[in-house]
């Protein structure tokens, strides 16, 4: 279908699940791959049919993005620092929690924004994570003002989703959760941690994929560009 984009997002749990990625990409036909907790120093240049766009540099376990280079041309890619939690400052600094790219889609002849996001851990308040999400949305808007945008990742926000959804909607974004929980390791912390926020896209499905060696389960986001839904001009 013209304009449809299939994206996998996966928190690798300190890179433990890196060996699963090629199979995931090939089995599900992913065209974008967004990673969290990846060993950014040792990432391969290709995973399955996808090519590395960029990885964060200031924290070893960070973010990365891969794309289908035959379909997509990356115009620019940039990592961003967001407001730090106490955990970041004292225990395990994570300087860059957002990786965004402006991408040209040869299939539709237009650009969009894609991003991998990793919010502050559960030791921080939800209010801080909402600040981080708002800042991420602003940073992505600066990459390509008015462009459709899709941000996937580990939001570390398993409860009180109604407040989060309203907060994101005030910024012009929609929030879509997967069909099953994405974190089941500890009973008290189970929930939907990994999901998608977007604007200018219709999210057809967010699917939780099978468990691997990470404590998170990967998600598969099937999205359709809004403008691609319109009939072509004669």
What pLDDT is stored for residue 228 in this prediction?
Answer: 59
What pLDDT is stored for residue 89 in this prediction?
Answer: 55
Quick check: 208 and 5 in contact, CB under 8 A? no
Answer yes or no: is pLDDT of 71 > 70: yes
Taking residues 175-190, report their average pLDDT.
83
CATH class, range 4-229 = alpha beta
Predicted confidence (pLDDT) per residue in 19-48, tens digit: 999 999 999 999 999 999 999 999 999 999
* 20-24 own/partner pairs: CB under 8 Å, 24+ apart: 20/212, 20/213, 21/47, 21/48, 22/47, 22/48, 23/48, 24/48, 24/209, 24/218
What pLDDT is stored for residue 94 in this prediction?
Answer: 65
Residue 189: which of 218, 219, 154, 151 has the closest Cα? 154
Share the mean pLDDT of the chain. Answer: 91
What is the enclosing helix (H) or strand (E) of 162? helix 161-169
Burial class, 91, CB count within 10 angstroms (exposed 0-12 / middle 13-18 / buried 19+): exposed
State residue 84 phi and psi, 5-degree precision.
-90, 145
Predicted confidence (pLDDT) per residue in 128-173, tens digit: 999 999 999 999 999 999 999 999 999 999 888 999 999 999 999 9
Taking residues 188-215, report their average pLDDT.
93
What pLDDT is stored for residue 229 in this prediction?
Answer: 57
d(CA 29, CA 6): 7
Domain ranges of the chain: 4-229
Q: For the full predicted model, state whether its pTM sits above 0.85.
A: yes
Answer yes or no: is pLDDT of 234 > 60: no
């Amino acid at each position: 279908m013209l304009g449809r984009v299939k994206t996998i997002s996966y928190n690798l749990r300190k890179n433990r699940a890196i060996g699963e990625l090629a199979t995931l990409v090939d089995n599900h036909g992913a065209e974008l791959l967004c990673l969290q907790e990846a060993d950014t120093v040792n990432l391969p240049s290709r995973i399955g049919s996808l090519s590395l766009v960029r990885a964060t540099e200031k924290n070893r376990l960070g973010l990365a993005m891969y794309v289908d280079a035959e379909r997509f041309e990356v115009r620019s890619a940039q990592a961003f620092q967001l407001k730090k939690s106490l955990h970041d400052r004292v225990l395990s600094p994570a300087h860059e929690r957002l990786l965004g790219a402006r991408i040209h889609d040869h299939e539709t002849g237009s650009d969009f924004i894609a991003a991998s996001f990793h919010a502050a851990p559960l030791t921080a308040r939800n209010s801080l994570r909402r600040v981080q999400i708002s800042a991420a949305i602003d940073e992505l808007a600066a990459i390509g003002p008015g462009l459709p945008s899709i941000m996937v990742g580990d939001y570390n926000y398993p409860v009180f989703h109604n407040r989060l959804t309203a907060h994101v909607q005030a910024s012009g974004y929609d929030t879509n959760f997967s069909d099953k929980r994405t974190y089941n390791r500890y009973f008290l912390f189970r929930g939907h941690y990994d999901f998608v926020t977007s604007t200018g896209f219709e999210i057809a499905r967010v699917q939780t994929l099978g468990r691997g060696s990470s404590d998170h389960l990967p998600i598969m986001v099937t999205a359709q560009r809004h403008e691609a839904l319109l009939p072509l001009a004669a």
